[in-house]
């Protein structure tokens, strides 16, 4: 068992032999993905019958104990006419995100894809009548982004045998195994059969799922698409990689494959009054912090019921993309660097290079670096395309790199140390 304060969620670890699995190579290289929480909850957007419902937007059905028969009515109003797959994928692309994970079915049970196994889906139950996952699949192919699906395997507040809804149904009498066998598995099969190659399936909140049930889901995914990854929240420590708790970045580097799922504001599904957005600097530094500890950053957007990604999210993602366009070499495909646990900097590394990410640029620009453990042969600013050498001198405890007197980048100035 993991300790209660572990950054990795209970049950969300990975198999012990996963670390060397080449199926994860693309994902290890990618570092940065787009999470999309989109569903019927974007209509109430945090408010039910004139009352503000606290907590994350996509949990409104549970938090307000909305009966299935009432919540279902939202489908008749769901008509996201501004949805444009090309635009969404282009935002991810311009942000420097390499994969996109979208909710195919969240805890509310509404299916955002055309499923044979229910009419409670976007094609059958809404005036919109289109399958956004199909459109995203085509665009992801075109723009070179890996398409991945979130699927809530345990909680389903709409299905009579799914977990979590105790206001319409009685938990104790549910046939949960029947729900997994006759509903979850056929739907996972649809997701892996109808949309081309899928990078990974992102399961969530394992709760009551048994090891045998988790195992059978992983086996099913790998049987249909052997290369498709499964995240740790499938439950029972058998995923291909570990997920931390939501929005949690571990204090130290972790020697396993892991990912932090995170929000830009405080909700996953769109909420009209959540306007507390993290700044571009915070987001860039979180991406670098995570990368320097060996993880991936899966950063969420919650589009509106009209199909629009909120502009504050787009602005921040594009700012990240601008920084990555210059500094991506120090992020993509890197491993944690030798210096850990410092406030002012982070380090990442590739063969022959250590990337010193400076968050707090010292006045005067003298960068005192200790603990590299390797001989430095030169230094330059990653943003400097002519690679003008910076003066490096040795001191008893390390080196001093003479950088410009003020920070060359407002978010994170990257100095390349050749070793």
The residues of the shown chain that bind ligand H79, judged by CB under 6 A, are: 55-56, 58-59, 62-63, 204-205, 246, 261, 268
The answer to whether 366 touches 393, Cβ cutoff 8 Å, is no
The answer to whether 104 touches 115, Cβ cutoff 8 Å, is no
Enclosing H/E stretch for 250 = none
The answer to whether 15 touches 27, Cβ cutoff 8 Å, is no
**CB-nearer residue toward ligand H79: 62 or 305:** 62
Residue whose pair of structure tokens reads 């049987």 in the numeric block: 223
Task: Please return the burial class of 42, using the count of CB atoms within 10 Å of its CB with bins 0-12, 13-18 and 19+.
Answer: buried
The answer to whether 188 touches 217, Cβ cutoff 8 Å, is yes
In three-state secondary structure terms, 353 is strand
**CB-nearer residue toward ligand H79: 106 or 185:** 106
CB of 205 to ligand H79, least distance (A): 5
| Count of CB atoms situated within 10 Å of the CB of 231 | 26
**CB-nearer residue toward ligand H79: 58 or 156:** 58
The answer to whether 155 touches 209, Cβ cutoff 8 Å, is no
**CB-nearer residue toward ligand H79: 233 or 346:** 233
**In whole angstroms, what is the distance from residue 313 CA to residue 303 CA?**
9
CB of 62 to ligand H79, least distance (A): 6
CB of 416 to ligand H79, least distance (A): 35
Q: Dihedral, CA atoms, 366, 369, 370, 375, nearest 10 degrees?
A: -120
**CB-nearer residue toward ligand H79: 47 or 246:** 246
CB of 299 to ligand H79, least distance (A): 11
The answer to whether 345 touches 356, Cβ cutoff 8 Å, is yes
**CB-nearer residue toward ligand H79: 37 or 357:** 37
CB of 233 to ligand H79, least distance (A): 8
CB of 173 to ligand H79, least distance (A): 22
| Count of CB atoms situated within 10 Å of the CB of 325 | 10
**CB-nearer residue toward ligand H79: 126 or 244:** 244
Token couple for 129 = 């009548």
CB of 336 to ligand H79, least distance (A): 24
Output the residue with the shortest Cβ distance to ligand H79: 55
Starting at the edge strand found earlier in the chain, the sheet holding 258-263 runs 229-230, 200-203, 146-151, 99-105, 32-36, 295-301, 258-263, 242-243
**CB-nearer residue toward ligand H79: 167 or 344:** 167
CB of 232 to ligand H79, least distance (A): 12
């Amino acid at each position: 068992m993991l300790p209660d304060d572990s950054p990795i969620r209970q049950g969300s670890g990975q198999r012990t032999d996963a670390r060397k699995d080449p199926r994860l190579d693309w994902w290890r290289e990618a570092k940065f993905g787009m999470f999309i929480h989109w569903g019927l909850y974007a209509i109430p957007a945090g408010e039910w019958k004139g009352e503000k419902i606290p907590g994350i937007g996509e949990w409104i059905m549970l938090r307000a104990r909305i009966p299935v028969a009432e919540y279902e009515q939202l489908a008749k109003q769901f008509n996201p006419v501004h949805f444009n797959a090309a635009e969404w994928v282009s935002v991810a692309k311009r942000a420097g995100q390499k994969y996109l994970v979208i909710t195919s079915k969240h805890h509310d049970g509404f299916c955002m894809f055309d499923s044979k196994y229910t009419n409670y889906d976007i094609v059958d139950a809404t005036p919109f009548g289109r399958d956004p996952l199909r459109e995203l699949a085509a665009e992801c192919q075109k723009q070179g982004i890996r398409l991945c699906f979130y699927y809530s395997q345990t909680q389903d507040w709409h299905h009579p045998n799914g977990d979590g809804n105790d206001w319409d149904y009685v938990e104790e009498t549910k046939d949960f195994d029947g729900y997994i066998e006759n509903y979850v598995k056929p739907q996972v099969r649809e997701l892996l059969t109808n949309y081309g190659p899928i990078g990974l399936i992102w399961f969530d909140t394992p709760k009551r799922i048994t090891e045998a049930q988790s195992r059978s889901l992983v086996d099913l995914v790998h049987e249909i698409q052997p290369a498709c990854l499964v995240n740790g929240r499938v439950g029972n420590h058998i995923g291909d990689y570990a997920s931390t708790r939501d929005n949690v970045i571990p204090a130290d580097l972790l020697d396993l494959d892991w990912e932090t799922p995170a929000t830009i504001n405080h909700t996953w599904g769109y909420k009209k009054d959540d306007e507390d957005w993290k700044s571009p600097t915070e987001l860039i530094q979180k991406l670098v912090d995570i990368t320097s500890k060996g993880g991936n950053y899966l950063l969420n957007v919650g589009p509106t019921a009209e199909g629009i990604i909120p502009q504050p999210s787009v602005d921040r993602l594009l700012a990240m993309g601008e920084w990555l366009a210059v500094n991506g070499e120090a992020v993509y495909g890197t491993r944690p660097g030798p210096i850990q646990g410092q406030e002012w900097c982070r380090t990442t590394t590739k063969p022959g290079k250590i990337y010193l990410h400076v968050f707090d640029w010292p006045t005067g620009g003298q960068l005192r670096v200790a603990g590299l453990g390797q001989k430095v042969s030169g230094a330059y600013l990653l943003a400097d395309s002519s690679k003008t050498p910076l003066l490096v001198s040795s001191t008893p405890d390390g080196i001093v790199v003479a950088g410009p007197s003020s920070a060359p980048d407002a978010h994170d100035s990257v100095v390349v140390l050749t070793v």
